[in-house]
Structure 1
Amino acid sequence: MDLTGWLLRRAVPCAFVITAIGGTGARLAVERHLRERGWRQALAPAEADLLVVCGHPCAELSRTVDRVWAQLPGPRARARVGVPEEARRVLDAAHTDLIDVAAQRRDADERDRAARERAEAGESEDMPGGLPMADRGEDRDGLKLDRLRLTLGPALPDWPAGLSLRAVIQGDVVQEAEVALIGARDRTSSFWGPRPGAEASGHPWAAATAALDSAQRLLSVAGWPAAALSGRRLRDALLDPDPGSGDRADLRRWLRAARRSRLLRWSLNGLGVVDDRAPVELRGDAADRYSRWLDTAQEGAGEPGGRAAPPVTSRAETAHAALELLPSLVVGQEVAATRLIVASLDPDTGSVGAHIPERNS
């Protein structure tokens, strides 16, 4: 018996998902199929054996995808889902590649050969993740500490599509930050907004579903994976034409649990405070924005008790404002808090086109 093949056929795939701008629909389909199959989603390339790219990546994002692919240990397989309808077929094909023993052995031999060639050529190894060497600079206490340039995104789990946050950090505190969009195009549109030629504004449950999607992504970043997975299932249920009564009851229970977590509220309080000059959807701290998403999900799904106000600004305007504010919100924050701040803003990068935020000095 081929033990390698036996193990491959019984292993549960673990997928690392990267989303290009405009690939939200493909991401939702991929996440749904992964959940329904019982496959896991990886938090880092090192724990994944399946790389899934959602949407149509540009040349720069494709280079990032190639770097992530090089970090996946074998056995491994990769797939690209351009549109939602392709998700099932593409994931089936990727799984077939993953359990193909001969193909996996060829891939391992090729990687070994490439590593030997680099060693024989005397090429120096890059630092982990391609990070540059640190320099020195004064921190807020007047001490000389290492300053390291770090780029967050666009290949991060539960991260806005195409967002690249380029930061200078000392220790784990962000000292400088600037934002760029990878793969932004002039003609892009929000998955949650109106479709070209359509009279209605997107899906009938668009506002509630978008809010649930943002909330579950923040829960995942905050370290509550069980609640995030339940939120993802409820989000998928709302995407169906007619959510059932059982789904509504589950939504009520999930909303109660999501509101009652004191630990979550404590971890979000005071993070990323936005004043009243910004769009209403962004005002307050991370906890306020999270609460508004829960209200929107409750109200938009037809559940009583929601306190969501109608949107004052469009998704594009809100995303523009979030991208402009982001650098100032993360300076002085730890990297972990930065992830939470970005998740609480969750800018809809598909709606903003080729917008390039102003560089903050």
Structure 2
Amino acid sequence: MLSRAFSAAMHGIDGYIVGIEADSSAGTPAFAIVGLPDRALGESRDRVRAAIFNSGFAFPAGRLLVNLSPADLRKEGPGFDLAIALALLAIDEQIPPAELRGFIALGELALDGSLRPVTGLLPMLLGAKNAGFTSFLIPRGNLDEASLVDGIELYALDSLADAVATVAGNGQRWRKRSTTPELQRHDAAAHGDLADVRGQLASKRALEIAAAGGHNLLFVGPPGCGKTMLARRLPGILPPMTLNEALDVTKIYSVAGVLGSERGIVRVRPFRFPHHTISHVALVGGGSNARPGEISLAHNGVLFLDELPEFSRSTIEVLRQPLEEGIVTIARAAGSFCYPARFQLVASMNP
């Protein structure tokens, strides 16, 4: 028997729909996942099997094959666990197969069947919403982040058993709440208040001009003269972020897994302060599993490079394209990933 469920994944910072097909056939019991899964996703076979047993459900018998489509895009992470488990339970109608197709299921399963939060949920919800889906099964730990998306129905769950009850029509619904009023809570002093700086009239004037015109800035002065202190106060005199800017920053932080325990919208402009030993990969993004770098985490905010001459030449050179175009493109065998990187560069150095 064949069953279908839906989940979502990320490509860069954009989400797309992943169709999950589960098939059971006669033969020696086996369980395989195809569709370019990574190692973490391949290990979900054991997590899903244990979660189904420990939640009190029967694991389907026979040769089981789970296909993740589109098959030409690599699927990463444990966020497909819930959707795979639900598709398997629908094979022998432990849950209604027809009802399952109306949901997007996202979440990592623990061995006892409990649901754990996943990273990158916000862009995945936005991508699924643009594809026409409006009902989402998510871990309760992701509820604040998911609530930033308008016009959808959220089912915040604690376990696989909760998800089964929801698909069967017995779950509790949390409708999203508006996020626009939260942006009014702009904390200008989150990175320090420029009004606290005594003296430094010329430096403060330069900071104000840079903030007004969006100019990059270089502080030159002896150690201890206040270069870092002034740089930290630049985000506080920049205009508050618009809703679209805040959502873009929150998406990037969600993909990078640095959104924070509150998992709400990022309300203040970012201030990133990398160490001078940082590699160019960590600065611009990339790696075997491509992730945003420091320049993307500084999107719509400030990137501060303290002791600029201490940074390697290759690290500084990779800033050329992002400064000119406001975007960075990472090319990998699995595809090309584009991350926004429109930031204001502030650097400091000794004479």
Same fold (TM over 0.5): no
Higher alpha-carbon Rg: 2
Query: What TM-score, normalized by structure 1, do the two folds share?
Result: 0.25
Query: What TM-score, normalized by structure 2, do the two folds share?
Result: 0.26
Structure with the higher helix share, 1 or 2: 1
Structure with the higher strand share, 1 or 2: 2
